[in-house]
Homo-oligomer: A and B are copies of this chain.
């Protein structure tokens, strides 16, 4: 199954305890696509400005990612500047220049409208809904969000959740959305809002999968060096959705394994700035760490 992703394509300026990068390739659709491309064919919808470096486009194309839906429009590309300190679990946003992304109105190419697997990366929930209206009959809709939308677009997000099969969010967002710090109670509230499954990402504490009569926990893969946590959530989603698209199954066992695939791809992603680590990654590396994760939870 091929996968459609709609999200941001950005130029990130990032500082972490181990280094810094200026205007490196980033954005939710970018990380997601690259991560998912280890498993399946990707079709991207997004927008960049005329200033967007040709080498970044070339990198994604070389990876086989279909960029027909990536608009290159007059103006400057979306830029994000952030830094990480201490335990690296939380980014501090230093600057956001939406630029052409501020007027983003996703236009789904006709050739994309029959795609069955859809990932709605973190954008305004009204735009996420617009995307769904343009897709004919998706089999699987997976969505992400962020604290901003929970804060200022809660009604739109709640409307969207009725159309979402699997909702992925982090633990802070989960508490913010439900007003509940208890993950199990919070996840049950979200399940009652529409999704069949909820995945709660907890950074270095791993992730939780909730569904009707379903609960699964996956640890984070243990790392001694994290260079850049940017894109961890999106590369998690890429591994997760990519694996489901590859396996073409949506049973509980496959969804559990997809969580582990997401965990592992994200673990590689944070080992380098931007896509540096994923660019060197092989499918066999992913399988190796998946087997390692099995070993660290078994007794």
Contacts and interface: CB of A to CB of B under 8 A. Distances in A.
Contact of A215 (B206, B222, B299): B222
Nearest to A297: B297
A223 B181 CA distance: 12
Contacts of A297: 216-218, 297-298
A257 B299 contact: yes
A162 interface: no
Contact of A204 (B88, B183, B224): B183
| Residue from A185, A257, A259 having most chain B Cβ neighbours under 10 A | A185
A298 B294 CA distance: 8
Interface in A170-216: 175, 181-185, 188, 202, 204-206, 215-216
Interface residues of A, number: 33
A253 interface: yes
Contacts of A224: 182, 184-185, 188
Contacts of A87: 175, 181-182
| Residue from A175, A206, A297 having most chain B Cβ neighbours under 10 A | A297
Interface string A262-299: 00000000000000000000000000000000101111
Contacts of A229: none
Contacts of A88: 181
A256 interface: yes
A146 to B, nearest CB: 20
A19 interface: no
Contacts of A256: 298-299
A260 interface: yes
A102 interface: no
Nearest to A259: B299
8 contacts: A182-B224, A184-B223, A202-B205, A205-B205, A206-B206, A215-B222, A217-B296, A294-B299
Q: Which 10 residue pairs across A and B have the least CB separation, nearest first?
A: A256-B299, A87-B181, A205-B205, A217-B219, A297-B297, A184-B222, A185-B224, A257-B299, A184-B224, A215-B296
